[in-house]
């Protein structure tokens, strides 16, 4: 699998689920380790357990308590964490 195929990533303890082209792959690595290896111009951590490909984001909608609802081009809907609000606000004002 090529990194360009990644839609989003979800962490679960010492594993991550890589979601790419409708398939899910399990990898034994921590979110922090994986995040450091990804291009920050292409991927953004939006929750302690979620990283999204910026090119796959279709829409961002403000939610309750400073969270955002993130809709991806494939129809996937994700929720951001409150501690990542500033990153998403910056994205809203500079990318969309």
| pLDDT of 77 higher than 80 | yes
Q: What is the pTM of this model?
A: 0.90
pLDDT at residue 8, as a whole number:
97
- Average pLDDT (47-69) is 92
Count of domains in the chain? 1
pLDDT at residue 6, as a whole number:
96
3-state secondary structure at position 58: strand
- Average pLDDT (50-60) is 94
Kindly report the backbone phi and psi dihedral angles of residue 91, in degrees, each rounded to the nearest multiple of 5, phi listed first. Answer: -60, -45
Query: How far is Cα 53 from Cα 9, in angstroms, rounded to an integer?
Result: 8
Q: Kindly report the number of other CB atoms within 10 A of residue 60's CB atom.
A: 18
pLDDT at residue 95, as a whole number:
59
Enclosing domain of residue 84: 3-94
Yes or no: say if 73 and 8 are a contact pair by the CB < 8 Å rule.
no
Looking at per-residue pLDDT, the higher value among 40 and 89 belongs to 40
CATH of the domain at 88: 2.40.50.1020
Q: Which residue has the tokens 């990194």?
A: 3
């Amino acid at each position: 699998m090529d990194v360009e195929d990644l839609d989003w990533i979800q962490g679960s303890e010492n594993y991550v689920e890589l979601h790419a082209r409708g398939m899910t792959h399990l990898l034994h690595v921590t979110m922090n380790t994986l995040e450091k290896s990804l291009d920050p111009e292409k991927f953004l951590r939006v929750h302690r357990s979620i990283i999204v490909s910026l090119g796959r984001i279709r829409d961002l909608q403000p939610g309750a308590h400073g969270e955002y609802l993130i809709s991806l081009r494939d129809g996937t809907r994700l929720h951001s964490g409150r501690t990542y609000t500033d990153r998403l606000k910056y994205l809203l004002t500079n990318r969309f």
